[in-house]
A = this chain, B = another copy of it.
Amino acid sequence: MSIPRRLSREAAQRDGEVVRIAGFLQEYRALGGVAFAIVRDRVGSTQVTLKKGVAPPELFALLADLPRESVVEVEGTIRRSEKANRGSELFPTAIRVLSRAETPLPLGVVDKVGADLDTRFDHRFLDLRKPEVRAVFELRAALLAAFREAYRARGFLEVETPKLLRQGAEGGATLFPVDYFGQRAFLAQSPQLYKQMLMAAGFERVFEIGPVFRAEPSDTVRHLTEIGMLDAEMAYIDGAEDLRGMLEEVVRAALGSVRRSLTEAENPLADGLPELAAPFPRIPFETAEAWLGRPGAERDFGTEDEKAIGARVEREYGTPFYYL
């Protein structure tokens, strides 16, 4: 098999050509004179059609015996087809098994049958094969790229600050201690101190996207001990509105570019991204207090308060983003 391997979407465009594809055997159905296999790769899948008298006879037996999710390479000719739900089908001349899956599978990849969370975590490599799980990783990668680009385009320099520190930047309560050759070090809970040093150094505009660590022993779904944090700092502003305006610009630019790239990649999560009107609503603290029915209380807002305020903003302004 010396011809180059094609991804399913490229292969589908090569009507009449001999191509090689590779991926997971998602499905195999034999219906008398014809059999169909679906081979899935990272961008989609290909329908492989075996016709009796056309496909090499041994391929029927090979596929009938092969567990779903095995890894295969298929070589054959692509033909456009109105009937195939992917617009084309591949008539194989050779199939090679690169890796045979164990049976039974602990969970199905494209089955409608759900698996419980423990099973999914125990077999995460299989769970990650689900196109809808992969879509989340693609969304995350697109967000990383888009936020980086949006900041760069506005003169922000990307920096990577140390994660292993002698001391914490924001007090010691939420730090993880590390045994550093018998001495005590800590994991960074924020790039704050370094960003401020970079301002004093005249870098003026910096950003970082990277891991930070918070030793908050919490059972809520809003706390993780390791998170990916986006952090930016900007000097020479005339007031807080300069920061709000910049953040608004960055979020709008980044989400717009994510929507474009996910749409192009046919990622279904593109449709769930919010449309952002500008400017984001500015909600005075007093207004939010009034909404919550306790004007002048001057209390910090808790999780439930924030949810209530967010819902009210969404209802009145139709946007999930606002300044409080």
Q: A residues bordering B, Cβ < 8 Å?
A: 5, 7, 22-24, 40-42, 124-129, 134, 137-138, 140-141, 144-145, 148, 152, 155, 157-160, 162-164, 176-181, 187, 197-198, 200-205, 210-211, 213, 215, 217, 225-226, 228, 236
* Between-chain CB contacts (< 8 Å), 27 pairs: A5-B236, A22-B236, A41-B202, A41-B204, A124-B201, A125-B201, A127-B201, A128-B201, A128-B202, A137-B159, A137-B203, A138-B157, A141-B158, A144-B158, A145-B148, A145-B152, A160-B211, A163-B211, A163-B226, A164-B176, A164-B213, A164-B226, A176-B178, A176-B180, A177-B179, A178-B179, A187-B187
Interface centre among A24, A162, A180, A201 (most CB of B within 10 A): A201
CA distance A205 to B202 in the complex (A): 38
Further contacts, 8 of them, CB under 8 A, given A128-B197, A164-B176, A164-B213:
A41-B204, A124-B201, A126-B201, A128-B201, A162-B226, A163-B163, A176-B179, A178-B179
CA distance A249 to B157 in the complex (A): 26
- Cβ B159 vs Cβ A198 within 8 A: no
- Cβ A202 vs Cβ B23 within 8 A: yes
Q: Known contacts A160-B228, A163-B163; is A202 also within 8 Å of B144 by CB? A: no
**Minimum CB–CB distance for A315 against chain B, Å:** 34
With both beta carbons as reference points, the residue of chain B lying nearest to A198 in the complex is identified as: B128
Q: Known contacts A176-B179, A178-B177, A210-B210; is A202 also within 8 Å of B160 by CB? A: no
- Cβ A200 vs Cβ B125 within 8 A: yes
CA distance A88 to B131 in the complex (A): 58
On chain B, the residues within 8 Å of A211 by CB distance are 160, 163, 210-211
On chain B, the residues within 8 Å of A128 by CB distance are 197-198, 201-203
Q: Which 10 A-B pairs have the closest CB atoms?
A: A128-B201, A125-B200, A141-B158, A42-B204, A177-B179, A125-B201, A125-B197, A164-B226, A22-B236, A129-B202
On chain B, the residues within 8 Å of A204 by CB distance are 41-42
- Cβ A40 vs Cβ B202 within 8 A: yes
On chain B, the residues within 8 Å of A23 by CB distance are 202
CA distance A170 to B136 in the complex (A): 28
CA distance A201 to B71 in the complex (A): 11
On chain B, the residues within 8 Å of A215 by CB distance are 181
Interface centre among A126, A137, A155, A213 (most CB of B within 10 A): A137
CA distance A23 to B204 in the complex (A): 9
CA distance A162 to B179 in the complex (A): 19
CA distance A203 to B226 in the complex (A): 23
CA distance A44 to B64 in the complex (A): 69
